[in-house]
Chains A and B, each alone.
Chain A
């Protein structure tokens, strides 16, 4: 039975990738490019040690972002504000780390804690608005994204937190080497795999454990299955909303850190600001399941990294954006179809099994 379930849950992603390749091929042919040549060049580049390291690093970021979104999705809570939560978390974390001169073993955990608290606090505003005032978290988290952007710009441009870090880019003070979390050049001697890669694996396991093995996780999933049944069973919906939103925000606070502590060393005005939306797409692809999310994050990161290669083939790199979009749409649609069929086929299987029992009885 479980093997069957696994098999059917693979249908949707495979279909998504397949259709996406087909659609992209049509577009490539339309712009007089050779689909086969383009894809094989992407794969060849993606398989290089250097590219694989970049993919793992980017996937680490995406994985954390998707987990932050997924924990909310599990109870039908839509945290669209990961962008605001992680940028704010990374900025404050970066500023704190930049001012600390402590050994790595102290400095990095402090930075992580600060970023998580800031992310949770920012998401907490949306949680409070929902519970106390009935404001949809979708609206409030989107609005909070804009406010976060404004606060960050103001802080870095107008206050003493901002410094001139390099040519024409203001940012937080450079983090001393002791405050960085360096990685290991495991695949490619010249590029490091982020230290956060390993931390995020641990977080993925913890996410699975909390969701599937604790009472809190049960309450969360029950709320997602049926809010009315959850309430009748004694689950306090408001409390769950607040706690889940805080956890989601805390996870979101981590999203900027792999890059900040593994590479950038400072939160500056060029820091990427839309990893949160990527997280939403990957959470959908991975069906809120940590392994699914990991696979989705790797796929997404591969497409992002390999897109640089397209220019060499004389093809616009936006082709990969189309691929990503098509994958998400197809996968989300086919998940729903597969889910409905699963429910139906299970009903039939049960009926068949019962009939056999009765015949043999």
Chain B
């Protein structure tokens, strides 16, 4: 190995799938001991590139050199042997195992037929100490938070001898102060000479941590920026990513009317053990108003939505258009005019192995144009699916393809189009643009804004604070099931909101 060699060098990488060129002429040079960010829109080819580097896919053309040596990876284990480790976006940990057990899982040190826990513990403690990764090796993973779990994932790959780490969207699941901790960890790792590839589309974070940034657009590398030598703003970076000017989520003007569409009083949801997850909250939304709820995931947002849709046991009174719907079923709430964009697209909003037009009916199967009496109206549903595809720009060759064949963004457009059909009076939307590319995001925002002007009331939950601030007329901050602050979207910054979400500070109303 040559000390001055690049840690990773990719030259002329091409990867074609039938009908799609995922990567075309990717060139990437990463110096050892640096944090190198790869940014790009969803579908730009980042994940294909990662899979190639991690041995999960073979490139059609091009060369991979690790520490100056040419490599051909047949499988991830070849990549691991070459010192590459991957920290996935979704953690792969066994909840009922301890930290130690999780880390050694799959490469357990043995003493005869027995597992050698002592050696493993010493080894892990020394790796943790060297890299500033504080973890309790004997804690049960089930008891740990997201930040700790991520540290375990990092330890796991270091334990396997990785010197080059690939972090796939590592901050997606973290709250702001956990992001800071992660960045400290990454700086410590860098000091130990470890090379880090940081994949993200959160540009301010990328600018905060990366030594060098490579932008990927439409499958190819469009440029690299050395952040020490060049001053580049998040906006410039974003425009490199998109190749054009960016849309903003801003709503203009006040469209709030007198009529209260949703009125919630003393709503509580209790967990199986009796703990209140949503703790006695009250709020109301008027016609033409978007109410945003800010909060770190897991503070009761999901339960509020489920309670409003009648999907979980709850106490309290919910009035919709003046009518008490507290005891109504989910179906009758939908029939009364509540649209629902749930948090988990795949589990809650789609039948992945059914055609688009059948998905169009889901949740609306009792209503026109999908059914007449007890019979389905298939031609009506198909026609209306065509309309949604047209109006919401769902990219699909036909409405007969399976929902799983569409990209995440197009699936989401179909869902938004469906939930906005039949002119609902209230839309309950969780992360309406999560995983959606910039163009589609702008389109969804437009639809929300237009519906708001037409008098739609919206309850919005979003982890994207810019979106929340840009779209909402009113913002409430949720912490441990209670509203702890109100924020004025006209003046609040994402930073202030982020701090309020962790309970650390107050924001002015």
Shortest C-beta distance, B316 to chain A (Å), equals: 20
| Set A1, A216, A343, A351: member contacting B400, Cβ < 8 A | A1
- Report how far A346 CA is from B404 CA in the complex, Å: 9
Given contacts A214-B375, A229-B348, 7 further A-B pairs with CB under 8 A are A215-B376, A217-B376, A218-B376, A225-B353, A231-B330, A234-B363, A348-B17
Q: Cβ of B331 and Cβ of A236 under 8 Å apart?
A: yes
A354 in contact with B349 given A234-B334, A346-B405 (CB within 8 Å): no
Is B19 among interface residues, defined by CB-CB distance under 8 A?
A: yes
Interface pairs (24), CB distance under 8 Å = A1-B400, A214-B374, A218-B358, A222-B351, A225-B352, A225-B353, A226-B350, A226-B351, A228-B348, A229-B347, A232-B309, A232-B311, A232-B340, A232-B363, A234-B332, A234-B333, A236-B329, A343-B402, A343-B404, A348-B18, A348-B19, A348-B20, A349-B397, A351-B18
Instruction: Give the interface SS of chain B, mostly helix, strand, loop or mixed.
Output: loop
Instruction: Please name the 4 residue pairs, one residue from A and one from B, whose CB atoms are nearest each other, closest first.
Output: A352-B19, A234-B331, A353-B397, A233-B363
Q: Give A73 Cβ to nearest chain B Cβ, in Å.
A: 15
Q: Which residues of B contact A350 (CB under 8 A)?
A: 396-397, 401, 405-406
B352 contact from A1, A226, A236, Cβ within 8 A: A226
Quick check: is A315 within 8 A (CB to CB) of the other chain? no
Instruction: For residue A122, give the distance in angstroms from its CB to the closest CB of chain B.
Output: 27
Q: Which residues of B sit under 8 angstroms from A215, Cβ to Cβ?
A: 365-366, 371, 374-376
B92 contacts the other chain (CB 8 A): no
State whether the Cβ of B342 lies closer than 8 Å to any Cβ in chain A: yes
Which B332-365 residues have a C-beta within 8 angstroms of A?
Answer: 332-334, 340, 342, 344, 347-354, 358, 361-365
Q: Is the CB of A352 within 8 A of B18?
A: yes
Q: How far is the CA of A235 from the CA of B309 in the complex (A)?
A: 12
- Closest beta carbon of chain B to A128's beta carbon, Å: 21
Residue of B nearest to A209 (CB): B375
Known contacts A225-B354, A226-B351, A348-B17: does B401 contact A233 (CB below 8 Å)? no
Given A229-B362, A234-B330, do A352 and B349 touch, yes or no (CB 8 Å)?
no
> Please, which residues of chain A bring their CB within 8 A of the CB of B396?
350, 354
Indicate the size class of the contact surface on chain A.
Answer: 20 to 34
CB-CB under 8 A from B358, the residues of chain A are 218
Q: Which of B389-407 contact A (CB under 8 A)?
A: 395-398, 400-402, 404-406
Q: Are A232 and B353 in contact (CB under 8 A)?
A: no
Known: A214-B375, A348-B19. A233 touches B362 (CB 8 A): yes
User: Which one of A216, A232, A236 has the greatest number of beta carbons of chain B within 10 Å?
Assistant: A232
In the bound complex, do residue B349 and residue A232 qualify as a contact, i.e. CB atoms below 8 Å apart? yes
Q: Which of A1, A214, A221, A232 contacts B330 (CB 8 A)?
A: A232
B311–chain A nearest beta-carbon distance, Å: 7
Q: Which residue of B lies closest to A2 (CB)?
A: B400
Interface residues in A308-361 by Cβ distance below 8 A to B read 339, 343, 346-355, 357
Q: Is A219 an interface residue (CB 8 A)?
A: yes
Interface string of B456-486 (1 = CB under 8 A from A): 0000000000000000000000000000000
Taking CB atoms, residues of chain B closer than 8 Å to A216 are: 374
Determine whether the beta carbon of B375 is less than 8 Å from that of A213. Answer: yes
Is A347 in contact with B405, judged by CB distance below 8 angstroms?
yes
Beta-carbon nearest neighbor of A345 in chain B: B18
B379 to chain A, nearest CB (A): 12
Q: Which residues of A contact B395 (CB under 8 A)?
A: 354, 357
Q: Which residues of B contact A213 (CB under 8 A)?
A: 375-376, 378
Across the interface, do B350 and A229 meet the contact criterion of CB distance under 8 Å? yes
**In the bound complex, how far is the Cα of B468 from the Cα of A278, in angstroms?**
57
The closest CB in chain A to the CB of B309 belongs to: A232
Distance of A217 Cα from B348 Cα, bound (Å): 19
Q: How far is the CA of A194 from the CA of B340 in the complex (A)?
A: 52
Is the Cβ of B366 less than 8 Å from the Cβ of A354? no
Of chain A, the residue at the smallest CB distance from B404 is A343
Known: A228-B347, A343-B404, A352-B19. A235 touches B397 (CB 8 A): no
Interfacial chain A residues near B350, Cβ < 8 Å: 226, 229
Question: Given contacts A226-B350, A233-B363, is CB(A349)–CB(B405) below 8 Å?
Answer: yes
CA distance A360 to B363 in the complex (A): 36
**Chain A residue with minimal CB distance to B20?**
A351
Q: Report which residue of A217, A219, A221, A222 has the largest number of chain B beta carbons within 10 angstroms of its beta carbon.
A: A222
| Neighbouring B residues of A226 by C-beta, 8 Å | 347, 350-352
Assembled-state Cα–Cα distance A32/B437 (Å)? 66
Nearest chain-B residue to A354 (Cβ)? B395
A214, A225, A235, A348: the one contacting B376 at CB < 8 Å is A214
A355 contact set on B, CB distance < 8 A? 19-20
CB contacts (< 8 Å) of A348 on chain B: these are 17-20
A346 lies within 8 A of B376 (CB): no
> In the complex, A221→B331 CA distance in Å?
17
Contact assessment for A357 and B397 in the assembled complex, using a CB-CB cutoff below 8 Å: yes
A218 touches B361 (CB 8 A): yes
CB closest residue in chain B, given A216? B374
In the complex, which residues of chain A have a beta carbon less than 8 angstroms from the beta carbon of B18? 348, 351-352
User: Which single member of B342, B362, B365, B401 contacts A346 (CB below 8 Å)?
Assistant: B401
